Structure 1
C-alpha cells in the first residue's frame, strides 16, 4: 500500500447510492435517520467518517456491514447487491464484543468457523492473525486476563483472520487510553502499508478529528437529522504523518471548522416549527461549559482561540470539547468560524459576572436561543399551577425522536434550565415547575 490515495479508477469495494433509513416515531410518523447517502469506497483507500451524535454514523456502518437493511437506495458490494451479511466484510466494535468464556484463539476462530473453514486451517490462520496483531503467547488466555488494549487486539485479529475486502471500524480506539489507542492505530497503519493483512479498503467511524487526519486518505463528514454527507475532504499526505506538521494542523483546523458549523435550526423558538424543539441538544455539562469559557477569556487566549489549541490547553478530547462548544454556541456565548472560537459580547459579560448573575444571564440566553427550553417555560407559564409532567414534554419530543434520545434531550434541557433558574424539576414526582418564587399561590 505504498500509494495512500486510491485512484478513482480503482475498483469499487462497496457503493452506496441514495441510501436512506427511517424509523417510526411514537406518533406513527416516519423520521429519516439517513437520507440520500451516496458513498463509494475503492481499493487501496482508508476513509474516515465523522459526525456528531444523531448523524447516523453507526447506522450507516451497520447498513454497510449488512447487519441492518436500508429502507431506500442501493448497496452494492463487489458489484453485487448486498443482502444481509457477506463474506469479505468484517467489523471491529468499540466494545470489543468478545465472548468471555472463549480463549483468545477461540474468539479469533469464530468468523472462520461461521464460514465453514476446516478446523486445522482455522487454527493455523487464527495463530497467524494473533501473531500479526502482537498477541503471540496469549492464545489460551481468557478476555478477563487481558488489558483493554489487548482485548481490542483480539477483536481486530478476529476481523483480520477472514482477510476481508472491507474492514469497518466503529470507534475502535475510543474505549482505550490515549497512548494505547495511538499505539494500536499506528500498528494498524503499519499492517495496512505492508499489505500483510490483505485488506482492500477500511472505513473508520471516529469522533477524533486528529485520528481521522492521521489515518485516512479521505474524510467524510455527515450532517444530522437526517444524516447526509455534507463534506468530503481528501487527505493527500504520505504516511506516516507528523501530527505537528503545518499540513496536518491545517487539515485539523479545516475539519474543526466543518464540524462546528452553526446549528441555527435550534434557535428562533417563537417562530419555530414544532419539530424544532426536538433539536438534539449536545451532551454538555454546565461545569465543563463554564471551564471552557473561562479558559477562553483568560490569557493567553483573551477571548479568541484556535479550537485544536484550546482542546490541548483544556486537556479535552474532541468528544468532550465539541459538544460543550456547540452548547456555548447555541446559547450565543461564543461564535465559531473556520475552526476558531471567540467569546461574544454576551460571553464576555458572562465571564466578568459573579456566580448568581451568570445563572441569570445563562437563563436569558437559553430562553432567547434554545427552542426546547423556551417551549418548556411557555408551557409552565400557561399552566394554572405552574407545573407540567415531564411525560408531556417527552410525548412531544417522541414525535421526532426515539424514546431514549427524547429522554436524553429532555435531561440536557432540564439541567440547563435548572442552572439558568428558568424552571425546576422535582425528581420524586417527575414534574417540571416554575421556580418556587414564581409559583402561583395556593387557593
Structure 2
C-alpha cells in the first residue's frame, strides 16, 4: 500500500458574488499517493486551477477538508511546491537567485541554498545559465527555471498549473519528455505530481490517473481514468487511442445520471450571466464549424473532426459549446449534430444568418443584460466599465475581458448594439 500524501474530502469552494455565494467546486473527493502522476483535466471554468490552489493551501475550501499526510491544512501546504503557467520569475534576479528564492524564504543558509540551487539547475538542464536574467532566456528555459525553483525545496508533491501551455508545440513536447525521463529515472526529488491541463492527449501521456472535472455550473468530478500503459507511451498504440477516445467522450458528452451536488449548491433555475458564461468563440469560428458539419450530413464525431482539421479537440470545444448554447447543435457521447436551426443557419446567406443569430442570442443572459441596460439608459449608451463591474462579482479580470469580448462580437453581428472601442462605449442599435 503506497503512502497517501494528499487527501481531499467533500471539498466545496465558493466566492462571494452579487447574488450570494458563487460556487466554483462542489463535492470533490480525491487522494494523491506516493509514486503517481495525477492529471486534473477539464475545460475552462471547471475549477481545476482552484482545486490545485486548495491542494497547495494557497486558498482555503469553503467546506470540506484538504489534508497532507493525514493532517488537515491550516495554511500553506508544507509538502507541495507550485509550477505556474506564466513562469512567474522575478526579472531583476538571475536564474540562480530565482531558484534560491524559496530556500531563502525558509531561512536556509546562503552556502546551503547555493549548493541546492546549483544541483537543481543542473538537474533541469540549465547548467551554464546560472548568472543569466529571465529576459535573456527563451520561454522553455524560463519554465525550466520554474521547475528548478519548485524542485529545489524537494516537495513531496509537485503541483503544476498548465506548465506547458505558454510554450510553442516543439518546446512543450521536449520539456514534457524530459520531465517524464527524470520521473522515470528515479532522480526526481519529489514523490508525486499533480498537473492541471485542458489537453486530453497530454493528460493521458503524462498521468497514471486522469481526473476529469465538469464545469456546469461548477466543478465536480465527472470521471476518473486509470492509465496502466507503460512509459514511454506510444501515441499510435491502440490502447492509447482507446483511452483518448474514452476521455474525449467524457469531456464532450452530456452524460445522464451524474451525482447531484451537495445540498445548497444545486443549479439555479434562472439563467444568469454568472451561471451561463459565453464560450470564447467568434461568430466566424462557430459559423465555420457549422458549415463543416453540414458538409458531413450535419453530424460528426468530434475526435474525427479534430483529426480532419489537424487541431486538438480542446481547440474545438469552445466552438462546440457555442453551437450548443445557441441551439444550433447537440452533443451526445462526443458526436456533434446540427439541429434544424443549425442546419438552416449553416446554409443561410448573410442577411438570414444575422436574423437567425439575433433570435438565438437575444435571450442569452449577458446579451440580454447589455440590451436591457442600454434600453434603460438615458441616451441608449453605456460605458463598458458598467458591465465589467457587474461581471466582476462573478469572474476574474481575465474572464470578464473574455466574456465581454465574446458578447461584443455576438451582439454586433446580431445588430443588437454597437461598440466604440476608443471610448469603450456600447450603444443600442436603433432598430432594436
Q: TM-score, normalised by structure 2?
A: 0.87
Distance 1:68 1:200 in 2: 23
Alignment match, 1:116: 107
Alignment match, 2:411: 417
Q: CA deviation at 1:411?
A: 4.0
CA contact (8 A) 2:40 2:195 kept: yes
Question: What CA deviation, in whole Å up to 9, does each residue of 1:77-123 have, x standing for no partner?
Answer: 11222222233211100011111121112211222222233333322
Alignment match, 2:6: 14
Is 2:232 the counterpart of 1:240?
yes
Q: Which residue among 50, 59, 75 is the counterpart of 1:68?
A: 59
CA RMSD of aligned residues (A): 2.9
Alignment match, 1:333: 328
Q: CA deviation at 1:152?
A: 0.4
Distance 1:108 1:381 in 2: 52
Q: CA deviation at 1:402?
A: 3.6
Is 2:431 the counterpart of 1:437?
yes
CA contact (8 A) 2:302 2:313 kept: no
Residues 140, 388 of structure 1: CA spacing in aligned structure 2 closer, same or farther, 3 A cutoff?
Answer: closer
Alignment match, 1:260: 252
Q: CA deviation at 1:424?
A: 0.9
Is 2:394 the counterpart of 1:401?
yes
Residues 383, 94 of structure 1: CA spacing in aligned structure 2 closer, same or farther, 3 A cutoff?
Answer: closer
Is 2:212 the counterpart of 1:221?
yes
Is 2:73 the counterpart of 1:82?
yes
Question: What CA deviation, in whole Å up to 9, does each residue of 1:228-252 have, x standing for no partner?
Answer: 2222122222221111222222222
Q: CA deviation at 1:21?
A: 2.0
Q: CA deviation at 1:47?
A: 0.8
Q: Which residue among 276, 279, 283 is the counterpart of 2:280?
A: 283
Q: CA deviation at 1:146?
A: 0.8
Distance 1:121 1:157 in 2: 16
Q: How does 1:303-322 map to 2 (within 5 A)?
A: 303-322=298-317
Alignment match, 2:159: 168
Distance 1:213 1:364 in 2: 40
Larger CA deviation: 394-403 vs 49-58? 394-403
Q: CA deviation at 1:276?
A: 3.5
Q: CA deviation at 1:388?
A: 6.8
Larger CA deviation: 391-400 vs 167-176? 391-400
Question: What CA deviation, in whole Å up to 9, does each residue of 1:145-167 have, x standing for no partner?
Answer: 11000110111111112221100
Q: Which residue among 294, 297, 300 is the counterpart of 2:294?
A: 297
Residues 390, 275 of structure 1: CA spacing in aligned structure 2 closer, same or farther, 3 A cutoff?
Answer: farther
Distance 1:303 1:202 in 2: 42
Q: How does 1:360-399 map to 2 (within 5 A)?
A: 360-367=355-362, 370-373=364-367, 379=372, 387=380, 389=382, 394=387, 398=391
Number of paired residues?
416
Distance 1:346 1:390 in 2: 34
Q: How does 1:93-242 map to 2 (within 5 A)?
A: 93-224=84-215, 225-242=217-234
Runs (4+) of structure 1 exceeding 6 A deviation are 390-393
Alignment match, 2:263: none
Distance 1:283 1:292 in 2: 14
CA contact (8 A) 2:7 2:32 kept: yes
Structure 1 unaligned segments of length 5 or more: list them: 1-8, 265-271, 439-443
Q: TM-score, normalised by structure 1?
A: 0.85
Q: Which residue among 332, 345, 349 is the counterpart of 1:350?
A: 345
Q: CA deviation at 1:215?
A: 0.8
Distance 1:157 1:123 in 2: 13
Distance 1:429 1:139 in 2: 45
